[in-house]
Amino acid sequence: MTHDYSAIDWRFTVAPMLDWTDRHCRYFHRLLTRRARLYTEMVTTGAIIHGNRESLLGFSEAEHPVALQLGGSDPHDLAESIRIASAYGYDEYNLNCGCPSERVQRGSFGACLMLEADTVASCVRAMRDVTDRPVTVKHRIGVDDRSDYAFVRDFVGTVYDAGCRVFIVHARAAWLKGLSPKENREIPPLDRDVARRLKGDFPDCVVLVNGQIASVEESEREIASGLDGVMVGRAAYQNPWMLREVDERLYGEEESEVTRVEVVKAMTAYLEAGFADDTNAIRACARHMIGLTLGLPGARRWRQCLSDPKALEAHGPELLLYAWREAFGD
């Protein structure tokens, strides 16, 4: 199938994060940035093929552009997962070759796939055969003692030959033994220069760097260094207000005039329209929005109200508005 790639589509992306970037989080983030590319949590092929598809794959049209990150290592299952997911209209399918968790390793996918580049290539070919949307790969810069540049260059080269043209480089090696996923985000040395070298060796590819990028200003510096884009994770989740700067500073659009209270009202309307009786959805939205007021006087009260089970029971889908009024007034 024909696959179109425009590097600007990946200039700023929000990382897939387990338990964080669900559909409610993505809807919230989209209120702050029109252009950033958003990613789902990783969803395994087994879950898609055998699980509750609407729960796993459903999302709002307002979330576009949105990418589905897949976890798996069987080409047939990955292709079948894309066939199923295509009904939902995702803009991209991303193969996870970076997660180091033991659970993921037991499933023979994630970062351990970097040791099987030919398998990844077969997966990418099978995925590309069933969709005209971009098929991309997120990977580390090494695995355990295989952290020399030649290793990651050869991995990318093999996957490139299978047709992949977008590589999201988590700029740390994955240490598969003895470290938790959290430790794997902090202990292996950060080396973003590897992403720049890959861009130099594969100039027709879209190459993004991921790893400890804390601000839009830092994103600008990475892009100015020759990379096509960045993927930002925890910083965007913990301080989502930073996303308000993305469209103006990275895409040259007009400055966003959205206010925090407008975002709160929009999220309240979102809950009332589709999730008024869904306590889990309301609780999830409250959790995702805790960082919206980071650094403001009243932020502590905001957090307290959003985390209060009695307030959730009393106010339901209006919990967000209640918390805002308690912390900041009308």
How many angstroms from the chain centroid is the CA of residue 274?
23
- Domain contains 270: yes
* Residues 42, 79 share a domain: yes
What pairing do the DSSP bridges indicate for beta strands 135-140 and 66-71? unpaired
What mean pLDDT do residues 68-91 have? 98
* Residues 302, 281 share a domain: yes
Average pLDDT of the chain is 96
Catalytic residue among 99, 205, 285, 305: 99
* Residues 131, 25 share a domain: yes
Dihedral, 316, 24, 275, 286 alpha carbons, nearest 10: 0
At 33 the pLDDT is: 98
- Domain contains 89: yes
* Residues 209, 66 share a domain: yes
* Residues 223, 126 share a domain: yes
Dihedral, 88, 94, 95, 100 alpha carbons, nearest 10: -110
- For every residue of 57-97, DSSP letters joined together read H---GGG-SEEEEEE---HHHHHHHHHHHGGGT-SEEEEEE
At 330 the pLDDT is: 77
- Domain contains 277: yes
- Domain boundary residue among 212, 228, 249? 249
* Residues 284, 220 share a domain: no
* pLDDT tens per residue across span 199-226: 999 999 999 999 999 999 999 999 999 9
- Domain contains 254: no
- Domain contains 82: yes
* Residues 285, 193 share a domain: no
Q: State how far the Cα of 172 lies from the Cα of 147, in Å rounded to an integer.
A: 9
- Domain boundary residue among 249, 279, 297? 249
* Residues 23, 114 share a domain: yes
Residue 103 has pLDDT above 80, yes or no: no
- Domain contains 196: yes
Q: Tell whether 17 is in a known binding site.
A: yes
At 176 the pLDDT is: 87
At 3 the pLDDT is: 74
* pLDDT tens per residue across span 115-164: 999 999 999 999 999 999 999 999 999 999 998 999 999 999 999 999 99
For the chain, what's the residue count? 330
Q: Tell whether 163 is in a known binding site.
A: no
Q: What residue spans of the chain are helical by DSSP H?
A: 23-30, 45-50, 53-57, 75-85, 102-106, 117-129, 149-161, 181-184, 193-201, 216-224, 234-238, 246-251, 260-274, 279-288, 299-306, 309-315, 319-328
- Domain contains 2: no
CA atoms within 13 A on the CB side of 172: 20
- Domain contains 255: no
Q: Tell whether 321 is in a known binding site.
A: no
> Whole-prediction pTM value?
0.96
Q: Tell whether 64 is in a known binding site.
A: no
At 305 the pLDDT is: 98
* pLDDT tens per residue across span 279-294: 999 999 999 999 999 9
* Residues 21, 69 share a domain: yes
At 184 the pLDDT is: 81
* Residues 142, 26 share a domain: yes
Q: Tell whether 242 is in a known binding site.
A: no
Hey, which residues does 92 pair with through a beta bridge? 67
Q: State how far the Cα of 23 lies from the Cα of 284, in Å rounded to an integer.
A: 10
99 is catalytic: yes
CA-nearest of 147, 199, 200, 203 to 168 is 199
* Residues 281, 188 share a domain: no
Q: How confident is the model at residue 186 (pLDDT cuts 50, 70, 90)?
A: confident
The alpha-carbon radius of gyration of the chain (Å, integer) is 20
Q: State how far the Cα of 150 lies from the Cα of 106, in Å rounded to an integer.
A: 26
What mean pLDDT do residues 314-325 have? 98
At 130 the pLDDT is: 98
The enclosing H or E element of 252 equals none
* Residues 214, 301 share a domain: no
Range of the domain at 135: 7-249
Domain count, the chain: 2
What mean pLDDT do residues 62-72 have? 98
Q: Tell whether 170 is in a known binding site.
A: yes
- Domain boundary residue among 249, 284, 306? 249
CA-nearest of 235, 250, 263 to 323 is 263
